[in-house]
């Protein structure tokens, strides 16, 4: 019983966390938290319905309907999921609009693979005009604008994408690329967007008509990745519906009505991954100005800032164009827990290399500072080292910091650090200076 209560508590905790993030349109963070909530309690109706709304707010209507239909199958009485499904049934015009939008989006992906960026841009502009909350359409449109060097239009598309999901990792990567492109243009003296010339041609057949359009170079690696991602999403939705349709078949007649509804929706849902405007107001109602919301906003801002720092420093790390001190200073501002999988991997790679290499340098410098009675610089250097690794040299660096504070007359900080050494590193000899403090060889 106690174990069950703990699971319910954890599920409610992550539901509340997802709700806070949904209020500030941190949709990526909200999805992560709500999925954790359902891992602890798969019958948490509130979490499942909210997850459907969050998917809905990003234009992923297929995933949203999966959650709502599952929710209704768990509990069909007084379940708001039934209202959401009913609203979709009552909007055939919206369904047809979404159907057209998703077809144009998929056609745009085909054009991208064939080098027809101009045709893809035309299609995507029509998509975002009819479905203004189609997140992936904005992202692909921004990528095409970046690829064709139409930076002002790319910036506008990314602003719209960021409004839909404030911490989406793909959007942040494109924002970073746009920032880097602007920096490169400023350094080279370029001011205006420059659509690239495309001397070759590509022929397209649409019905009985043949259209010849200029061809560009092969799309960047990101276009291929987006195509694969969309294919995987479609497979995932298909698998989810297969499981949903097969499992209830063994139930009693009470679930047969629900199964028929799923069958009726399945053909349409396979192509409907865009936003239905009828439920937009549901997500807008989550906005609030409470202290919890402000805290969540700060977390979202920290995620964006940390990701920007990591992407920027990783470029310098690979090119060896700035010093270790400057890179370490920026990495110390990063909140690693706020990073996604790609960002955390790059951060760990830089941290393992730079903290080890620069740690040796700054520790040696601090010992040299101490040996010539330059206690101010010794304290500054050792403070940076403590931020990198408090236990550096098995506590010897921390003990040297306490001595530097003591020698500079700051007895309060000296006592704080000495007490910490005695508590965490009892093997350090604090009775007299270590041999390395009075002089040593520079590390190789």
In this prediction, residue 213 has a pLDDT band, given cuts at 50, 70 and 90, of low
- pLDDT at residue 399 is higher than 90: yes
Q: In the predicted model, what is the mean pLDDT of residues 69-97? A: 84
The residue among 303, 350, 21 whose CA lies nearest residue 171 is 303
Q: Has residue 227 got a pLDDT over 90?
A: no
The CA–CA distances, whole Å, from 428 to 387, 391, 412, 425 equal 20, 11, 20, 6
Q: For 337-371, what is each residue's pLDDT tens digit?
A: 888 788 888 899 999 999 999 999 999 999 999 99
User: What is the separation of C-alpha 146 from the centre of its chain, rounded to a whole number of angstroms?
Assistant: 20
Query: Which tokens sit at 35?
Result: 């999925």
* Residue 387 to residue 392: CA distance in whole angstroms: 10
Residue of higher predicted confidence among 249 and 297: 297
* Winning range, highest mean pLDDT, from 90-104, 231-245, 317-331: 317-331
Structure tokens at 208: 């009985």
Bridge partners (DSSP) listed for residue 206:
209
Among 84-98, 204-218, 371-385, which range has the highest average pLDDT?
A: 371-385
Which residue is it, tokens 């064709």?
148
CA pair distance 396, 414, nearest whole angstrom: 14
Report how far apart the first and last C-alpha atoms of the chain are (Å, whole number): 60
| Whole-Å CA distances, 91 to 44, 58, 282 | 28, 19, 16
- Quote the pLDDT of residue 380: 94
Tokens at 244, concatenated: 């949903």
pLDDT tens for each residue of 250-298: 454 445 555 555 555 554 554 454 444 444 444 554 444 445 556 666 7
- pTM for the whole thing? 0.49
């Amino acid at each position: 019983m106690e174990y069950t209560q703990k699971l319910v508590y954890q599920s409610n905790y992550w539901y509340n966390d997802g709700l806070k993030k949904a209020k500030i349109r941190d949709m990526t963070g909200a999805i992560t938290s709500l999925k954790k909530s359902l891992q602890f309690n798969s019958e948490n109706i509130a979490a499942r319905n909210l997850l459907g709304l969050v998917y809905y707010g990003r234009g992923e209507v297929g995933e949203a309907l999966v959650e709502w239909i599952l929710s209704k199958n768990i509990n069909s009485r007084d379940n708001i999921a039934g209202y959401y499904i009913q609203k979709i049934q009552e909007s055939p015009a919206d369904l047809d609009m979404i159907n057209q939008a998703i077809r144009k989006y998929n056609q745009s992906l085909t054009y991208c693979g064939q080098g027809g960026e101009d045709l893809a841009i035309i299609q995507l502009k029509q998509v975002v005009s009819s479905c203004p909350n189609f997140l992936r359409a904005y992202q692909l449109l921004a990528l095409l604008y970046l690829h064709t060097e139409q930076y002002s239009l790319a910036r506008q598309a990314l602003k719209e994408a960021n409004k839909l999901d404030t911490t989406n990792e793909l959007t942040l990567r494109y924002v970073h690329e746009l920032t880097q492109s602007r920096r490169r243009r400023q350094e080279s003296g370029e001011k205006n967007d420059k659509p690239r010339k495309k001397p070759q041609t590509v022929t397209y057949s649409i019905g009985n008509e043949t259209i010849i359009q200029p061809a560009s170079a092969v799309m960047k690696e990101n276009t291929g990745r987006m195509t694969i991602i969309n294919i995987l999403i479609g497979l995932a939705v298909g698998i989810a519906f297969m499981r949903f349709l097969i499992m209830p078949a063994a139930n009693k007649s009470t679930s047969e009505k629900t199964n028929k509804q799923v069958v009726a929706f399945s053909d349409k849902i396979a192509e409907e991954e865009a936003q239905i405007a009828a439920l937009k107001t549901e997500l807008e109602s989550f906005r609030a100005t409470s202290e919890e919301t402000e805290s969540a906003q700060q977390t979202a801002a920290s995620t964006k800032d940390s990701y920007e720092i990591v992407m920027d420093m990783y470029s310098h790390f690979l090119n060896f164009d700035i010093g270790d001190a400057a890179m370490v200073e920026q990495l110390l501002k990063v909140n690693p827990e706020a990073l996604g999988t790609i960002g955390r991997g790059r951060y760990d790679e830089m941290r393992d290399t730079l903290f080890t290499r620069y740690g040796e340098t700054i520790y040696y410098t601090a010992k040299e500072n101490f040996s010539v009675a330059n206690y101010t610089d010794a304290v500054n250097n050792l403070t940076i080292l403590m931020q990198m690794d408090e236990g550096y040299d098995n506590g010897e660096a921390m003990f040297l910091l306490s001595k530097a504070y003591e020698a500079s007359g700051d007895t309060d900080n000296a006592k704080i650090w000495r007490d910490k050494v005695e508590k965490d590193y009892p093997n350090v000899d604090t009775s007299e200076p270590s041999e390395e403090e009075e002089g040593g060889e520079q590390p190789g």
